[in-house]
């Protein structure tokens, strides 16, 4: 829909202050698309693929632009290989080269690290961060990987059944969760710890022996630790897990997140 392949059933799509259907050709020349699910022609080389794509955008000196991007994304050694011989991670980086050919103001990225092994996925994330800085390009990034979203994005929209249900910076979204997870390793009887936390109405669980996980506001953490100590609990280790976008997503799915987008 954002690329004009489908027609929206309601509302409008605008880029750079211009309505898409009225300025389609101009807008398409200033945006591009990259996805782990999009592929180039499999039986020709990487350079042949990129040369064809550069021709669609009428790029001056396409070989120079292609070589610049091959170096930037560290795939120059793949230039003479057939596309279908590339690994998933290599294909993703070549697709990113394609998406940058026309020096777009905006790239739409759909699950660019899907199906990649963790090491290659992290490399792609690092490349995307570099692109933002060196190519001065805005990115609309869609993903189910909340850790990647939190690492890369300045603002986040969370959608449920086609509607925006939360929108803000990652920090502001996580602030609305309100509670952190306090992981305490202790040397005492579990019954003593459980009795104190139950009396104080703290939600808690024991993931393993001598470890308790407590849901608590950050300002109450000293009070909880002091209270446990007063009850004879010897604390050997403390770890604080602050809420992240994954917690926000789960809270929305569970109906416990009150924030609504404007």
Are 75 and 127 within one domain? yes
Taking Cα atoms as reference points, which of 180, 181, 206 lies closest to residue 193?
Answer: 206
**Is pLDDT above 50 for 262?**
no
Confirm if 97 and 50 have CB atoms less than 8 A apart: yes
Q: Quote the tokens at residue 93.
A: 């980086």
Look at residue 15 and give its three-state secondary structure: strand
Confirm if 244 and 150 have CB atoms less than 8 A apart: yes
Are 146 and 184 within one domain? no
Residue 152: the pLDDT is 93
Q: Is residue 164 part of a domain?
A: no
Distance (Å, rounded) from C-alpha 207 to C-alpha 185? 11
> Could you tell me the pLDDT band of residue 84, with boundaries at 50, 70 and 90?
very high
Are 66 and 135 within one domain? yes
Confirm if 37 and 114 have CB atoms less than 8 A apart: yes
Are 58 and 139 within one domain? yes
> Could you tell me the pLDDT band of residue 261, with boundaries at 50, 70 and 90?
very low
Distance (Å, rounded) from C-alpha 184 to C-alpha 74? 44
Q: Quote the tokens at residue 52.
A: 């064809």
CATH number at residue 208: 3.30.70.120
Are 45 and 125 within one domain? yes
**Is pLDDT above 70 for 256?**
no
> Could you tell me the pLDDT band of residue 72, with boundaries at 50, 70 and 90?
confident
Are 47 and 133 within one domain? yes
> Could you tell me the pLDDT band of residue 58, with boundaries at 50, 70 and 90?
confident
Distance (Å, rounded) from C-alpha 93 to C-alpha 88? 9
Q: Quote the tokens at residue 40.
A: 């180039």
The count of structural domains within the chain is 2
**Is pLDDT above 90 for 254?**
no
Structure pTM?
0.77
Q: Is residue 89 part of a domain?
A: yes
Q: Quote the tokens at residue 143.
A: 């993903």
Are 223 and 111 within one domain? no
Q: Which of 75-89, 90-104, 196-210, 248-262 has the lowest mean pLDDT?
A: 248-262
- State pLDDT tens for residues 181-233: 999 999 999 999 999 999 999 999 999 999 999 999 888 999 999 999 999 99
Residue 224: the pLDDT is 96
Query: Which positions ≥6 away from 255 have C-beta within 8 Å?
Result: none
Distance (Å, rounded) from C-alpha 250 to C-alpha 158? 11
Q: Quote the tokens at residue 141.
A: 């990034």
Strand partners, 18: 15
Domain range for 222 is: 179-242
Are 206 and 132 within one domain? no
Are 148 and 186 within one domain? no
Distance (Å, rounded) from C-alpha 76 to C-alpha 256? 49
Residue 226: the pLDDT is 96
Taking Cα atoms as reference points, which of 34, 41, 55, 32 lies closest to residue 86?
Answer: 41
> Could you tell me the pLDDT band of residue 257, with boundaries at 50, 70 and 90?
low
- State pLDDT tens for residues 123-141: 889 888 888 888 888 999 9
Q: Is residue 60 part of a domain?
A: yes
């Amino acid at each position: 829909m954002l690329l004009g392949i489908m027609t929206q059933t309601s509302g409008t799509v605008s880029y750079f202050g211009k309505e898409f259907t009225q300025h389609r050709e101009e807008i398409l020349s200033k945006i591009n698309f990259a996805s782990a699910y999009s592929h180039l022609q499999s039986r020709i080389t990487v350079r042949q693929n990129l040369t064809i794509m550069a021709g669609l955008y009428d790029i001056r000196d396409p070989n120079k632009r292609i070589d610049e991007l091959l170096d930037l994304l560290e795939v120059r050694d793949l230039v003479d290989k057939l596309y279908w011989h590339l690994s998933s991670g290599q294909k993703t980086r070549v697709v990113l080269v394609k998406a940058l050919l026309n020096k777009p103001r905006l790239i739409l990225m759909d699950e660019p690290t899907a199906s990649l092994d963790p090491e290659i996925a992290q490399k792609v994330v690092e490349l995307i961060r570099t692109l933002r800085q060196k190519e001065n390009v805005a990115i609309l990034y869609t993903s189910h990987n909340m850790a990647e979203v939190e690492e890369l994005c300045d603002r986040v929209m969370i959608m449920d059944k086609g509607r925006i249900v939360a929108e803000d910076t990652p920090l502001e979204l996580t602030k609305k969760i309100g509670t952190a997870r306090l992981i305490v390793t202790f040397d005492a009887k579990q019954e003593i710890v459980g009795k104190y936390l139950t009396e104080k109405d703290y939600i808690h669980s024991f993931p393993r022996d001598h470890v308790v996980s407590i849901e608590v506001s950050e300002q109450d953490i000293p009070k909880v630790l002091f209270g446990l100590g007063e009850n004879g609990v010897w604390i050997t280790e403390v770890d604080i897990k602050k809420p992240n976008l994954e917690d926000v997503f789960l809270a929305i799915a569970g109906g416990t997140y009150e924030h609504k987008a404007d």
